[in-house]
Structure 1
């Protein structure tokens, strides 16, 4: 896919924090226009063993409570009319490991949490994944039960792209922002429909990435040129990369230092490829053990985060 050419005329700023998604007071109130993220898969994926890793929480209710804290922070930093877009799949618990087959309705529980926080729920997109991923916790099989006989398990090969909007008005971009953010007719017709078929991303370097194509669509569909995009579960940096490629600012938060290094390298490499004047910072958030990153054979130390001003973003 072709992307907007970043240049000195439209510089953007990108900040990657090694920090905890459950609290990010260093991001100012109403300073973000779009949140695009995918939370950890409860019990389904094995993440690096980092202190505070939400993907390793055993109790589902505790996991949901921590997610509520993340979405509450997202609500705080979003401008009125801004969106939280959450890519999430339900979790299938196998009969072999849990005594019976159960589908944990994570997407539905997230919708309930967001409604109680004050978000307006909008139509989701159904992402039909084409991949070789494992769809059940603690099993290598995609289904349980003998094939070709009744009562086999329906394969779980979709994820939900949830749409939550912060009330209080609608976005009022400038005429220049509108002009620079136009989506061609063919892409508009393909993207603004409820079922997508997009090939899943490789899990070689990260257990649960989502493809750049997916992030690019969402960034272009629900933000304008010059907006700020936040991903509180930044992972390998896909949302930040899409924002950089399409002249949006971005903020990423990732608790795992190895994934931070991975995201930083992708951002540095892309910035060099674009020959852009975009600025990129790797920042050590308060309360997290400071770690040095090595990018392109050069150590890049996290800069201690300073309190950010409470100046609200343009809406």
Structure 2
């Protein structure tokens, strides 16, 4: 006779999930497929252009653009974790995903998402040092420190998301295994569990505070000091230039943290599942798509670097 522990392990190893379809209309499915595919191509091209511009132009070899290129790399990573699987499941012939695959997608997505939030916080500190302490900026923000910060952000994100993912995947799942979402995120998977999830919800809440609330608080404090310094600049041109280096980052912060907070801090109720999926679409698709556009349109240095690239490749 098998023990309860061995039965639970066998049940977990055979668990498979399917994602709920956006629609059952073949015509709308085809439109959604090409729409999401187009968004994915634009995300790859836009963020790759920023990475290439930063790493090939010496004028962009500064901590701010180093962090920006790594931010673009992270966003390519977490969209790639989601979109190819979404495209393969968008039509009626759904492919089930095993529990191990679901857990892997959850872990990678949360790791890149957490690193994204930490990196945005570091970029706010970088702007604080550049504007409020310009004389000490080059002495403190060295290339070695910037590299350590990027790997530290990724390592901290792994440290937080690995236990959370392991807790979720250790749950027993019974009944239907249809996820009302387009990815294996924590909240929609927890809704399918038939065990006690109070501890898992508490861990998710703590991780959300560490990843979202605390970094956003540091960003707000940094911008309070930055705004105070900018207002004391006498020349209008100097104030505009200092503000322009922060406006792009601040726009991305509000978009990223706003949508993520609406997903992970909403009350857990079945009536909010569709809205949760809509907010997830925003920070999974549109935030990585808008980031390159925001930084390109509002940043003269990147625009000049991209213009040089295009002028070199244009036929004489």
Q: TM-score, normalised by structure 1?
A: 0.29
Q: TM-score, normalised by structure 2?
A: 0.29
Q: Which has the higher helix share?
A: 2
Higher RCO by CA contacts (8 Å cutoff, separation 6 or greater): 1
The structure having more radius of gyration, on CA atoms, is 2
